[in-house]
Amino acid sequence: MLIENTTASKEQGLEFPVYLEKARLRILRNNLPAFKFRVRLQEVDSISGEPGADILQQSVVVESTMRKGWLDFELTPFKLLITKPFFVTFEQILDKQDRTIIADGYREFMRAHPERLVIDTIEFEGKKEPHLMIKQGGIDLPGTFIAITSKDWAAKEFTSFTRQTSFAEWVKVRGIVTAMISVSNQPITKTEKPKPCDDTNIICKATKLCETFMDETGVNGMQISVSKSGELKWSRAFGYADVDTHKPVTAQTKFRINSISKSLTALALVRLESEGKLDLDAPIQKYLPEFPEKEYPFTARQLAGHLAGIRDYRQDDASDLIRTEHYATAIDALATFKEDSLLFEPGTQFHYSSFGWNLLGALIEKITGKHYLIYMSETIFNPLGMESTLGDDATKTITNRSTFYDLTGKPNDLGDISYKYASGGLLSTADDLVKFGNEMLNGKSLSGKQREQLFQSQKTNAGNETGYGLGWYTGVDRNGHRIWYHAGDSFSSSSWLVIYPDDKLVVALVANSQHAAAFDIYEVGEFFYGNK
């Protein structure tokens, strides 16, 4: 990838001459036991514009076993002063065993899935070339896949070349490698090693865990909060809510909580039932006669437990998830799926479905006569002191709302999510989620019967437990501690909420990219319940 003084680079502070500090390569997926990459720094050939003579004479190789994340190459020891544009180049080093594993894997894949191999024609810079491509990804094949973006904006702002071997010719490509180079206008004279945390200092250990995770994955910003016995023990904001303006994350920064929205909606359901306004076991048409009857009837309880047979997002259709139409109400948004058939007879299978929860949002509107967001604010958010929790309404300017970033690092709001407020369209903070978790744990507004309904695993018709109650997963962590939990993620955000009922512990995390879906939230829980 070419590093040069473009307008965009200058806006981010790149002005030659600079000292090089670190190079980073984004590993999208690694399916090998281990892999190696070498970083090279090269001049720009004055005739061809391709990578030319080596600037870095030493061989800098990093070996890793990571599945995905940022691979770092430390450059500060070389004290390299760069005065003009240059290339940062990454070479994967494969031994014979690696090549055999990859070749055998591809041969088996081509034998088993010929329908997924297509020859497509790609046009780049006026030239058309045939390419053998794999439909539906292929990143589960043996090998190491680096993150590449083929977006038009990337091809306009950046330049990348590739070659198959160290002796092959360079070819300019439209796809831009996802990589970073850190620079400084001052040479670094020494590098201070971070001080290790004392074994008894759980705040230090938890902080280091978060900082290391952000460094390895490239998450721009996140919040985390922990309470024990109803008392807030730790709350911390990391990184940027907006990278371009260097706006830091604060405790008030609002993040998308995605599917944790289901857990909040579930509280509304049991409230309505306790008020005698909702029978969880009645056919859904009792409350929503405008929803078409299907081959089999199903209930609100089955919807809330992912047992109703309602479909989820279509994996081969991005427009099913990323929508542009704004829906005035949850009832209006039923148009997105109400004509679809059931996937199976209700009660026979567990099949996770966000659309099923969209239907529950419409049910709440029909029963209460109020917009879902208004009802939730009046009866859930405001009474619980969740001042930063609301719908992510694309028609409104929302104070302290984070910018969200896709896997390439670019801002991406993923359309209008008014069609799914009840299932995945709410904004909140880690502190607000902890308040909500404590209400689930100890709140006086929740009866024992309501808690039992929320957190008792439902069962299929055959009597098999699903591990999911009403809007909550239930189970144990790796040390056998009971947990009630939900996670949520989309292509540009992620979230966690975990309750340890026996330890009186609540842990919440929110982030402005999908990477934090891989964060080990349970390790934070282990720090605070003290049994690791």
Closest-CA residue to 304 (of 482, 527, 74, 472): 472
Three-class DSSP category at 389: coil
SS3 string, 125-147, reads CCEEEEEEEECCCCCCCCCEEEC
What residues contact residue 150 under an 8 Å CB cut-off, 6+ apart?
174, 175, 176
Please return the burial class of 306, using the count of CB atoms within 10 Å of its CB with bins 0-12, 13-18 and 19+: buried
User: Residue 415 corresponds to which amino acid?
Assistant: G
Gap between the Cα atoms of 320 and 322, Å rounded: 6
Gap between the Cα atoms of 397 and 419, Å rounded: 18
> At CA 210, angle to CA 206 and CA 211, rounded to 5?
115
User: In whole angstroms, what separates CA 425 from the centre of its chain?
Assistant: 14
Count Cα neighbours of 143 within 13 Å in the Cβ-side half-sphere.
15
- The residue assigned the tokens 């000292």 is 19
Closest-CA residue to 359 (of 346, 344, 372): 372
- Catalytic site residue from 225, 227, 259, 494: 259
**Active site (annotated) includes residue 9:** no
Buried b / exposed e over 356-392, threshold 16 CB at 10 Å, is bbbbbbbbbbbbbebbbbebbbebbbeebebebbbbb
Contact between 321 and 414 (Cβ < 8 Å)? yes
DSSP string, 77-137: GG--EE-S-EEEEEEEE--HHHHHHHHHHHHHHHHH-GGGEEEEEEEETTEEEEEEEETT-
Contact between 140 and 31 (Cβ < 8 Å)? yes
> At CA 349, angle to CA 343 and CA 353, rounded to 5?
60
Closest-CA residue to 417 (of 401, 437, 440): 401
Closest-CA residue to 446 (of 412, 415, 403, 484): 484
The residues carrying an active-site annotation are 259
